[in-house]
Structure 1
Amino acid sequence: MTLMGQMMQVPLLISSLLTHAARHSGDTEIVSKRVEGDLHRTTWAEVAVRARKVAQALARLGCQPGDRVGTLAWNGYRHLELYYGTSGSQLVCHTINPRLFPEQVAWIANDAADRVLCFDLNFLPLVEKLAPQLGKVEHFVLLAGRSHMPASTSLPGLLCYEELVEAETGDYAWPSFDENTASSICYTSGTTGHPKGAVYSHRSTVLHAYGAALPDAMACSARDVVLPVVPMFHVNAWGLPYATALVGCKVVMPGPHLDGKSLFELFEQEKVTFSAGVPTVWLGLLTYMQQNGLKFSTFKRTVIGGSACPPAMLRTLEDDYGVEVIHAWGMTEMSPLGTLAKLKSKHDVLDAVSRRRILEKQGKGICGVDMEIVDDERRPLPWDGRSAGNLVVRGHWVIDHYFQTEASPLIEVPGRDGLWFPTGDVASIDADGYMQITDRSKDVIKSGGEWISSIDLENIAVAHPAVHEAAVIACAHPKWDERPLLVVVKKPGAEVTREELLAFFGGRIAKWQIPDDVAFVDELPHTATGKLQKLKLREQFKDHKLPT
């Protein structure tokens, strides 16, 4: 007979994170640079009170357990209150990316069947434009006080967030329910077809918060001052709104003010120690600092993900500014954290170049996520650092279905337990478990039967002093099937020729992998989450004739 454990069964609920933060770090600050332009200060204790008021207000609007509440909002205390007020009261928090095309925003809100839509002041024109298409939204709520409500609007019955909150008592007890209940929905960027919804549970979100805070992950502690540059509408700001409550640290929210000058001033003023964001944001911040001869005084660690961090950027942050870069990889379907790159003690004996090569990889899996690389027949490949295959994952915070779909995306892997999620990435894994993305399966360049990694070529290109940003795509070739084309944005005032750039690859990569040609452009297309939009580049250069 199996002996069962005799332990309490306390459900893993998101509300427990906020309750903990309010009790043990109640006076710790939450600082927000608001859309209105001013700096707002509150605490974890006050956020907890107002989140309970949000729950009461949404119930008064008729919301029932399972109803979706949409948000179009930047990083700020009101958005944080909505995170907890919705999920904690058994509603579903649905963050919508306002950088998507308006038609996609409307499609996503309708697909999720949002009953309430809460939005920041600067998104009022967008919501007014889309309102006729949002037939399922019953209440529009402007995240502002009475003094910032518009004198007139086309929105029917526009509600004031501050008035809704102030009308409630906060005398509310978070309900207890099944930890597998849906807590939030995030949609993929929708680079092919319609975006797809990933529905997270309370259990998956709380476990993800624990995983994120581990020493070999984001390593957040109560001593940190955390500024999430990654937006709260981008995969729940990589779980930071939950992990920061778990450890009870100070949080600084930049709102829409993501330019280099605004970020640097906020970093310095609030003594930020830790941040997280995509490479394009750091590019803007570093450019501003370099132009003005500035240095950080407290900022020590950052997680960079969303797309591969160029080695040149990693070197600049660590060598010139003393900031430890934690390279990360994940997906919307993974809540999103999958791997982070930190060294083991055995690496201490290595020289600086060898250590950096390890840190340039996407890193080891967090406990809670397992991964494999498989060939086209789904057979596992060796972890030797050389074999590249299709990356598949499984774990506590990995989806098993998309919202509103019956067919599962999961696959079987011969000789491995359970079902696995195919990520669409091509990767290698070394003997120590460090994973390195070599490409997206649709972006890899197949030349004469051999694979060429576009990421490797891009990393070399952006190391050139005249290159601001670079992308590599495949161009059709009559003999080799495909050959690489390098598309480059030059730094302001910099000059470099095609021949000089191609010569720069010499000795840095195998000769047959060097791009066949270079195209100079004013800017590269990006997705709403900052990733290079190679589909558009391939369309733009589909008729490009290679000199070879």
Structure 2
Amino acid sequence: MALMGQMMSAPLLISSIIKHAARYYGDTEIVSRRTEGDIHRYNYRECELRSRKLAQALAALGVQQGDRIGTLAWNGYRHLEIYYGVSGMGAVCHTINPRLFPEQIAYIINHAEDGYVFFDLTFLPLVEGVAAHCPKVKGWVLMSDRAHMPAESKVPLLCYEDLIDGQDGGYTWPTFDENTASSLCYTSGTTGNPKGALYSHRSTVLHSYGSALPDVLNCSARDVILPVVPMFHVNAWGLPYSVPLVGAKLVFPGAKLDGASLYELFEQEQVTFSAGVPTVWLGLLQHVQGNGLKFSSFHRTVIGGSAAPPAMIRALEALGVDVVHAWGMTEMSPLGTAGTLMAKHDALPDDEKHLILEKQGRVVFGVDMKIVDGDGEELPWDGKAFGDLHVRGPWVIDHYFRVDASPLVDGWFPTGDVATIDADGYMQITDRSKDVIKSGGEWISSIDIENVAAAHPAVHMAACISAFHPKWDERPLLVVVKKPGAEVTREELLAFFEGKVAKWWIPDDVVFTTEIPLTATGKMQKLKLREQFKDYRLPSA
């Protein structure tokens, strides 16, 4: 019989992170640019108290453990309080991407069965549009004080600050099983409706430990950290947890993500580290380079969401900013790999170092990965063989929320990416097995685009592929075969998409052709199309 250890059994709970930050880094600042327009400042001690007051208020509203609470919000201190107040009481914090099409947002709220939805003032028109389609939502909470509440609204609203002010804070964080659900994020970009990844307290705390490691995000109490990646994007890559865990100063940019606004905040708050998708850094670089500016404190960033162009990595390095290339998925909480050099690479020429840094990097402890061929046989790590990338680990999905069938294959999660792995364990994405388009770090489903196009009376067949874009990385290009005798212009076809998909999903261009290559089973050969249009220049580029 095994001899058991004689150590305390303390569950890994999200509330322990904010309790730790309040107790040991209580006066460390949290700075937010608010939707009201001003800069808000307070500290971890005040954040933890207000999070407890929020949990108290939700309990008074009848919220129970396991109930889902939605958010439609930017990065800010109130959103952080919801992260901790909701999960800390044992309910589930469900962050919703407000950039999705309203019908998708309504679907996600209904599928999650959100009891209450908290939202920033920016999203009032969106809420007024979807509320009637979300009958199970008991209340819509505007994240504002009484002075900024609208004089009238089509939807009855609760006031966030009224909820907080109505409580005394005499609330003790409950203790429960660490495998209890903590937060819910929906992934889109594949066929069909978005699917929910339901994280646990245990998976989130372990992910926070893993992501803060020196060869990953390398966070410490000496840092000033500004997450540009939205808190509705896989929980801002876990930064709202890992930053308080190490006690670093936290800076939130709110809705103003343009280069000038970000630069101002970076300099004003002496930000040392940030994280975001390539599109954001493009805007910041254009502002800095165009105005002959420099960074006085910013020296490290993590880029993920889509591949960072080599030119961008070099441009940031020229400004004294080291780039860590990272990769992950909603189904992975999200962090899987990070690209940092090993000691043996120190002597390499810069060009060779860059080739390594341009890969997606090595796995974080807590994630295991492999590449397999079409028969499921594992392929060698030689940097040449490429196959389907599979992962597993304590913060990797087992089932999608409210879906019975497991996506796992022999205990591994198939990512849908095609990759190589070299002898040192550096992984590089070479393609995607599913034909989704990644525009500025946001997924666009090519199949959804094709379905809309195919509904046009003049269209015989339509294929949507990605075309290179200097700002957005990829944008949709629609390839169309017209029906015999039918006529339709590029402009008419693009106008046909309005109101059917989110505006930013509408293709940037349409190309008419006589045929689309097909496989023997009648499927469109996207690979051939991508090859055919690999040098295509979009008018928007």
- After TM superposition, where is structure 1 displaced by more than 2 Å over at least 4 residues in a row? 189-192, 484-491, 539-548
Deviation at 1:542, TM superposition (A): 6.6
Query: How many Å separate the matches in 2 of 1:283 and 1:300?
Result: 16
SS of the residue corresponding to residue 412 of structure 2 reads strand
Decide whether the 8 Å contact of 1:190 with 1:196 is kept in 2.
no
- Which residue matches 1:123? 123
Residues 116-157 of structure 1: per-residue CA shift (max 9 Å, x gap): 01000111111011110011100111000000011111112x
The 1-side partners of 2:370 and 2:468 are apart by 34
| CA offsets 1:216-263 (integer angstroms, 9 cap, x no match) | 100000000000000000000000000011001100000000001000
Q: Which residue of 2 aligns with 1:61?
A: 61
Which string of whole-angstrom CA distances, capped at 9 and with x for unpartnered residues, describes residues 289-334 of structure 1? 121111111001000000111111111111x211000000000000
**Residue 179 and residue 487 in structure 1: after superposition, are their counterparts in 2 closer, same or farther (change >3 A)?**
closer
Output one character per residue of 1:156-196: Cα deviation in whole Å (capped at 9) or x when no partner: 2x111001101101111100000000000000024421100
| 1:209 partnered with 2:208 | yes
Preserved CA contact (<8 Å) 2:190 2:434: no
Task: Report if the CA contact (8 A) 1:179-1:203 is conserved.
Answer: yes
Question: CA separation in 2, counterparts of 1:541 and 1:78?
Answer: 46
Structure 1 residues 406 and 487: alpha-carbon distance in aligned structure 2, compared to 1, 3 A threshold: closer
- Give secondary structure in 2 for the equivalent of 1:367: coil
What is aligned with 2:197?
Answer: 198
Compute the TM-score of the two structures, normalised by the length of structure 1: 0.82
Question: Which deviations, in whole Å up to 9, do the C-alpha atoms of 1:365-390 show, x marking residues without a partner?
Answer: 00000000000111000000000000
Give the unaligned 5+ runs of structure 2. 440-445, 447-463, 472-493, 516-531, 536-541
Q: Which amino acid aligns with 1:45?
A: R
Kept after mapping to 1: 8 A contact 2:73/2:79: yes
Q: Which residue of 2 aligns with 1:282?
A: 281
- Is 1:8 aligned to residue 14 of structure 2? no
**AA matched with 2:332:** M
* 1:50-87 superposed Cα distances (whole Å, 9 cap, x missing partner): 00000000011110110000000000000000000000
CA distance in 2, matches of 1:227, 1:485: 34
Q: What is the letter of the counterpart of residue 98 of structure 1?
A: P
Alpha-carbon distance, 1:200 to partner: 0.1
1:387 is the counterpart of 2:379: no
**Of 419, 428, 436, the match for 1:436:** 428
CA displacement at 1:287 relative to structure 2:
1.1
Residue identity over aligned pairs, in percent, reads: 65
Counterpart Cα distance in 2 of 1:148 and 1:192: 40
Provide the rounded CA distance (Å) in 2 between the counterparts of 1:181 and 1:357.
42
SS in 1 for 2:199: strand
- 1:55–1:300 CA distance, 2 compared to 1 (3 A): same
Q: Distance in 2 between matches of 1:199 and 1:184?
A: 6
**Counterpart residue identity of residue 283, structure 2:** G
Query: What is aligned with 1:267?
Result: 266
- With normalisation by structure 2, the TM-score equals 0.83
Check whether the contact 1:145–1:160 (CA below 8 A) recurs between aligned residues: yes
What's 2:88 paired with? Answer: 88
Q: Conserved in 1, the CA contact under 8 Å of 2:69 and 2:117?
A: yes
1:543 CA drift (Å): 3.0
Whichever residue aligns with residue 349 of structure 1, its letter is: A
Distance 1:363 1:171, change over 3 A: same
Does residue 543 in structure 1 map to residue 513 in structure 2? yes
Q: Is the 8 A contact 1:31 1:253 kept in 2?
A: yes
Q: Give the corresponding residue for 1:510.
A: none
Runs of 5+ unmatched residues, structure 1: 413-418, 445-453, 459-471, 473-483, 492-521
The residue that corresponds to 1:505 in the other structure is none
Q: How does 1:401-480 map to 2 (within 5 A)?
A: 401-412=399-410, 419-443=411-435
Q: Which residue of 2 aligns with 1:506?
A: none
What code does the residue aligned with 1:543 have? T
d(CA) in 2 for partners of 1:403 and 1:86?
A: 18
Contact 1:73 1:233 in 2 (8 A): yes
